Amino acid sequence: MVLLRKVIGDALRARRLAQHRTLREVSTAANVSLGYLSEIERGHKEASSELLASICDALGAPLSEMLGDVSSTFALAEQMEEAFASAVSGNDDGARASMDEAITDGNVTVQVHSDGPLRTTLTTLRATPGQRQTGSVYAG
């Protein structure tokens, strides 16, 4: 299961890195502590809507645009979960085989790799305006 706070953090970090800006620059502009911004980007903390708006403003991006990126990533992750569940339920011996699946919408690519019921890794890659790929890995 992908957590919303992790996908939001990934989207914020991707935007910041695409602008070649440091955490310090963005945290100062957003009036949030560097440590707290880092926790948000890593998906360890959930930011309020006011704080997200402030961070997006510091990044020069509308909150709705960032949330659109988050929505796209989440939709692909849900499609992957459905495909994954279908593949696992179709396994005759009931065991979960090692699997690699990927899906893309042109801007975001989500790849899932599973080595068993307790070891699944979700990797997202987002094409940024300069065609630079940024990514995150979520393991569970």
- Assign 120 a pLDDT band (cuts: 50, 70, 90): low
Mean pLDDT of 7-32: 95
* Domain span holding position 78: 4-139
Q: Would you report the helix, strand and coil content of the chain in percent, each value rounded to 5?
A: 50, 20, 30
CB within 8 Å of 110: residues ≥ 6 apart: 73, 76, 77, 79, 80, 102, 103, 104, 122, 123, 124
Number of domains in the chain: 1
- Select the more confidently predicted residue: 107 or 62: 62
**Is pLDDT of 96 > 50?**
no
Q: What is the pLDDT of residues 70-80, one digit of tens each?
A: 998 888 877 77
Determine the 3-state secondary structure of 46 from DSSP. Answer: coil
CATH number at residue 56: 1.10.260.40
Token pair for 133: 């790929």
**Predicted model pTM:** 0.66
